[in-house]
Amino acid sequence: RGDFDIIGGSSPITHAEVIKVALDLVRRFYNSKAIVIRLNHSKLAEAVCSWAGVPQERRQNVAEFLSSTLVQYCPNKADRKSQWSLIRGQLLQDLRLSEEVVEKLHKADQRFCGSADLVLARLRGTLFYDKSACKALDDLSTFLKCLRVWSVEEHIAIDVLMPPSDYYYTDLFFQIYSKEGSPASSSHEKLLAVGGRYDMLMENAWDNTHKTKPPGAVGVSIALEKFLPNNPSSDVGLPRIENSISVLVCSKGGGGLLNERMELVAELWEANIKAQFVPQEDPSLQEQYEYASDHDIKCLVFITEAGLSQTDLVKVRHLDARKEKDVEKEEIVKFLSEAISLQFKNPTIWS
């Protein structure tokens, strides 16, 4: 198993980053058109159970039952729809749910499980009275916007009946699958990765003598055995970034310029340049400098609203060298690649 985690940061933004990391690996071994990302939120699942009328004391049993019988199939597919004729009797008899509750769970599967954008709109119209559910929907909406900035084109579905893969996942959680078989036939889904936010686990492990609250955390666990070839010693061709110099993409004004920071970071990643950004919508200059200090980052790239709209320039600043230079945005990858190769020590790069 391979794990990737981010400690701290804003939840939807860090969720998007861990999924991007997982997808960067998945796409090297699987066709992106066959990849499915399934999402849910703990507060959303609770709200749907309340809407359906599932008694509190039976929700865990219902979730486990649906997970083993229904949720293993992709939403809105024929093999999932066919399960209802088989499980209806068990929900009524074994789990002692009323006809009305079972019918509402069936309706939830039909209306609230499927294409993310469509399901979000339906859920907002149904759960408008539930403040906790509305906050969860806002988180999901921000999360989807972040994925679009990073050009995640895979099919993204919301599945309100999908329980978390582990008890400690709270708030937003996800599973990544690869569809196998032809679309016309009954296709099987291979589970490749699971993840989500696990603040509760951090709180349980936190030393209570600390005056501060534990930071939030989000992570993904990847089933590496489903990626590696039969010969573990063979070269899978994954690139390595040998240079240890990292870049922090910062914003100054403009409401945080989150999309622009994310786009520039992705461009640097694509060029195998180690790059980070403060995972908040509108971090202050002080927060960004503190982040650089905490992570021992000396090279900062500043973007401003005026710089992008009027001059198309970004400012590169090196804290140790005490040098800075305005660089055309389309030349930033070339400039940083050359500067990093020279360890930022050649004075000519700043002229």
Query: What CATH number does domain 247-342 carry, 3.40.50.800, 3.40.50.620, 3.40.930.10, 3.10.270.10?
Result: 3.40.50.800
Q: What is the distance between the alpha carbons of residues 43 and 170, in angstroms, rounded to a whole number?
A: 8
- Domains of the chain, residue spans: 2-226, 247-342
Q: What is the distance between the alpha carbons of residues 341 and 25, in angstroms, rounded to a whole number?
A: 26
CA 106 to chain centre: 28
| pLDDT of the chain, 351 residues: tens digit per residue | 889 999 887 778 999 999 999 998 898 889 888 899 999 999 999 999 999 999 999 999 999 999 989 888 889 888 899 999 889 999 999 999 999 999 999 999 999 999 999 999 999 999 999 999 999 999 999 999 999 999 887 789 999 999 998 888 888 999 999 987 655 445 578 899 999 999 888 888 887 777 788 888 999 999 988 887 644 554 555 555 555 789 999 999 889 999 999 999 999 999 999 999 999 999 999 999 999 999 999 999 999 998 888 888 999 999 998 999 999 999 999 999 999 988 888 888 887
Whether 96 and 44 have beta carbons less than 8 Å apart is answered as: no
DSSP bridge partners of 217:
7
**Reported pTM:** 0.85
Scan for tokens 């996800």, then name that residue: 174
DSSP bridge partners of 246:
274
Scan for tokens 């597919």, then name that residue: 77
User: According to the CATH classification, is domain 2-226 in 3.30.930.10?
Assistant: yes
Q: What is the distance between the alpha carbons of residues 47 and 134, in angstroms, rounded to a whole number?
A: 10
Is 168 marked within a binding site? yes
Is 159 marked within a binding site? no
Is 167 marked within a binding site? no
